[in-house]
Structure 1
Amino acid sequence: MDQLVSTEWLAGEMGASDLRVVDATYFLPDAGRNARAEYEGGHIPGAVFMDIAELADASGDLPNMLPSAEKFASRMQSLGLGDGSRIVLYDDSPLRSSARAWWMLTMFGAHSVAILDGGLPKWKSEDRPLETGRPEVRHRHFTVWKDDKQVAKKADVMANLHDKHAELVDARPSARFTGEEPEPRGDLASGHIPGSHSTPHGQFFHGDGTWKTGDELKAVFEDAGVDLDKPMITSCGSGMTAAVPLFAVHLLGKEDVRLYDGAWTEWATDPHTPKATA
């Protein structure tokens, strides 16, 4: 299974015993939308709902930080996702939250995970079937392990300011990157991590919501001044859309990429970290 699959491919695979479809839609708290309610109102047949908001470390002050491996495995087992599953993720979110779900699943040990190109909007636009409610699922064993090499911490980003070993890309909107537009959280400083490149996550998609690929995808990074031959660290506001450029470079075959989970929220609240607006 490819990392990116089409609606036509998924329609042809429906009913396969090892296939698990997952709705990974997530909205910001102030979006005025309820991801679970929308899922129950209509989803791809057989899909289960992954509550990304709940898949976080609730012990700290930072949003969206990775949960423990044990918590993650428990939640996946309750969704019927386990060893031997082929997992296809989709969403209906402007944040493209299925990329975050893809990152977490692959980092915690899932071996066959893909994103549905175009997500639920494309599936609906083709008049493909939907179902409502919640399907009954059978718990499956999920063998979990954590690949910390895919995670960057604040200390790693701080060190990178000096050795410039990796390219740092920021998936927030450009006006937030420059500081022209304030952060959604009013207590956060504006601007960006010095030396980072602005790559707003929406630039990685066509107008119909499908992913750019190949040379079009490379051009997004190159136009932002990113050297794709160097390792990469991705960031955003709270670790959600940072998964979009991370998945994008995986589509290009690049694997030396990490996600800064604390992201701008952690960086901006530390008075000792440098901030830039130019």
Structure 2
Amino acid sequence: MKRVSQLTAALMLSGLAHMATAADMPSQMTLSTLQAQHGVVIDTRLSAFYNGWPQTISSVGGHEPAALNLSASWLDMMNDEQLQLWAKQHAIKPDSLIALYGNDDETKAVKTRLSKLGYQHVALLSDALQQPARLQKMAHFEQLVYPQWLHNLMQNKAVVAKPAGEVKIIEAAWGAPKQYLLSHIPGADYIDTNDIESEPLWNKVSDDKLKALIAKHGIRHDTTVIMYGRDVYAAARVAQILLYAGVKDVRLLDGGWQSWSDAKLPVERGLPNDVKPAPDFGATIPGQPQLMLDTEQARGLLGRKDASLVSIRSWPEFIGITSGYSYIKPKGEIAGARWGHAGSDSTHMEDFHNPDGTMRSADDIAAMWKSWNITPDQHVAFYCGTGWRASETFMYARAMGWQNVGVYDGGWYEWSSNPKNPVATGERKPL
């Protein structure tokens, strides 16, 4: 008896046997037809639109139910092996039924690339983005802005999720503004991370020093601050501390400086413009003290089902092969911490990034965390070596709508400085 593939069998049972071969695949299909065949939906647009930003001022943003995001803009950044790995991670097989949506150029580019790798059952989603009520979006997509939105805001054009009051754009990096001087977003201020954290443990500065820094940069509690950096986690570190201080609306440029550069938007060079200091923050500092945990508070999250102390460190750091830092000698991990992923080493965050450096989809991140029993109903505190990587994941969790999240400021550096604190090493599985 002649064998048939699972896809062919399913299509025959549904009366759609003509779809069984690539040559006979329909050029389009509806979401309901695709779902009936347990097919895969792929959104080929920029991640910003997938996350929830509308493409026009009058449209509705978000993605189709259960859609994956494979932006056509990423294709030049992914070799065949990387693209096949992406498909494997999302359980897409060569005989999977796939429907794409986006503009014509985007869907054509993705279809061509997938076809070359042997994915032959690829069609277009005919009713994509036509039923706003069924679209899904990240809970607070507006907290991760994208370059064109920011440019339109700066040009005083109408934008969705427009800030209510004054807006300040700030670049953050460690040390003197060397790269900033050569090229930065027009009108952006600059914050040296040395001004918001200090030795010996690189914890945040005192609240009094933080208050002075915020005033120096003209920031009040009701100022909207849009942070970006050459490294996203540098900007996130400042953003998280500003939220702790009580600034109500702090946003990140998703993908950082690279995303602005890739968009080929205007830049300027030179020193920051003179900033008029803010005479008063307008609220008590810290406004959200719960966002920053000390060692005892972090310890209190260990061993609980309703809480997670989450390590945002590479696997080699987590199991104690390396400390990750030249200035941190002890190796290992906080005993009882759960692994939240990070990247290949202490300066990378690939596990959380799309190929262009923007935030990976919320569903992917949530699934990654769930595999280590880290869930949105828990009290979750992230930490890393000294706070940068933890702050980036904090900003993502916040955008995803996780309610009870914070950062253990001291991280591995502070924890490991006390030999009485319990440490774990070696391979291990989720707690």
Does the pair score TM above 0.5? yes
Name the residue aligned to 2:321.
180
Name the residue aligned to 1:169.
310
Q: Give 1:271 deviation, angstroms.
A: 0.8
CA distance in structure 2 between the aligned counterparts of 1:171 and 1:266, rounded to whole angstroms: 15
Deviations 1:243-264 (A, max 9, x none): 1221121112112112111110
Structure 1: which 5+ residue stretches go unaligned?
27-33
> Any conservation in 1 of the 2:308–2:381 contact (CA below 8 Å)?
yes
Provide the secondary structure at the position in 2 that maps to 1:114.
Answer: strand
Name the residue aligned to 1:142.
281
Q: Give 1:268 deviation, angstroms.
A: 0.9
Name the residue aligned to 2:208.
70
**Which amino acid in 2 is paired with 1:47?**
A
Q: Which residue, 233, 250, 256 being the options, matches 2:398?
A: 250
Name the residue aligned to 1:220.
368
CA distance in structure 1 between the aligned counterparts of 2:249 and 2:360, rounded to whole angstroms: 21
CA distance in structure 1 between the aligned counterparts of 2:352 and 2:258, rounded to whole angstroms: 17
**Which amino acid in 2 is paired with 1:78?**
K
- Structure 1 stretches of 4+ moved >6 Å: none
| Matched ranges for 1:1-278 at <5 A | 2-14=142-154, 18-26=166-174, 36-57=177-198, 61-63=200-202, 65-93=203-231, 96-133=233-270, 134-140=272-278, 141-143=280-282, 144-146=284-286, 147-163=288-304, 165-185=306-326, 188-198=329-339, 199-200=341-342, 201-278=349-426
**Which amino acid in 1 is paired with 2:201?**
L
Q: Give 1:11 deviation, angstroms.
A: 0.4
CA distance in structure 2 between the aligned counterparts of 1:226 and 1:151, rounded to whole angstroms: 19
Structure 2: which 5+ residue stretches go unaligned?
1-140, 157-164, 343-348, 427-431
Deviations 1:184-218 (A, max 9, x none): 23553211112222221431111101112331231
**TM-score under structure 2 length normalisation:** 0.58
Deviations 1:114-133 (A, max 9, x none): 10111111111121111111
Provide the secondary structure at the position in 2 that maps to 1:50.
Answer: strand
Aligned-residue Cα RMSD (Å) equals 2.1
Aligned residue-pair number: 267
Which of structures 1 and 2 has the larger relative contact order (alpha carbons within 8 angstroms, sep 6+)?
1
Query: Residues 171, 114 of structure 1: CA spacing in aligned structure 2 closer, same or farther, 3 A cutoff?
Result: same
Q: Give 1:163 deviation, angstroms.
A: 4.5
CA distance in structure 2 between the aligned counterparts of 1:2 and 1:269, rounded to whole angstroms: 39
CA distance in structure 1 between the aligned counterparts of 2:403 and 2:305, rounded to whole angstroms: 18
**Which amino acid in 2 is paired with 1:174?**
W
CA distance in structure 2 between the aligned counterparts of 1:67 and 1:116, rounded to whole angstroms: 24
* Larger Cα-atom Rg: 2
Query: Residues 181, 68 of structure 1: CA spacing in aligned structure 2 closer, same or farther, 3 A cutoff?
Result: closer
> Any conservation in 1 of the 2:302–2:309 contact (CA below 8 Å)?
no
Deviations 1:65-88 (A, max 9, x none): 122222212212222222432211
CA distance in structure 1 between the aligned counterparts of 2:239 and 2:353, rounded to whole angstroms: 17
**TM-score under structure 1 length normalisation:** 0.88
Query: Residues 186, 45 of structure 1: CA spacing in aligned structure 2 closer, same or farther, 3 A cutoff?
Result: closer
* Range 65-74 or range 100-109, more displaced: 65-74
CA distance in structure 2 between the aligned counterparts of 1:44 and 1:98, rounded to whole angstroms: 14
CA distance in structure 2 between the aligned counterparts of 1:123 and 1:211, rounded to whole angstroms: 15
Query: Residues 187, 75 of structure 1: CA spacing in aligned structure 2 closer, same or farther, 3 A cutoff?
Result: closer
CA distance in structure 2 between the aligned counterparts of 1:90 and 1:113, rounded to whole angstroms: 11
CA distance in structure 2 between the aligned counterparts of 1:77 and 1:187, rounded to whole angstroms: 33
CA distance in structure 2 between the aligned counterparts of 1:82 and 1:229, rounded to whole angstroms: 31
Q: Give 1:35 deviation, angstroms.
A: 5.2
Query: Residues 164, 158 of structure 1: CA spacing in aligned structure 2 closer, same or farther, 3 A cutoff?
Result: farther
CA distance in structure 2 between the aligned counterparts of 1:254 and 1:244, rounded to whole angstroms: 14
CA distance in structure 2 between the aligned counterparts of 1:83 and 1:176, rounded to whole angstroms: 37
Query: Residues 35, 215 of structure 1: CA spacing in aligned structure 2 closer, same or farther, 3 A cutoff?
Result: farther
> Any conservation in 2 of the 1:152–1:258 contact (CA below 8 Å)?
yes
> Any conservation in 2 of the 1:171–1:244 contact (CA below 8 Å)?
no
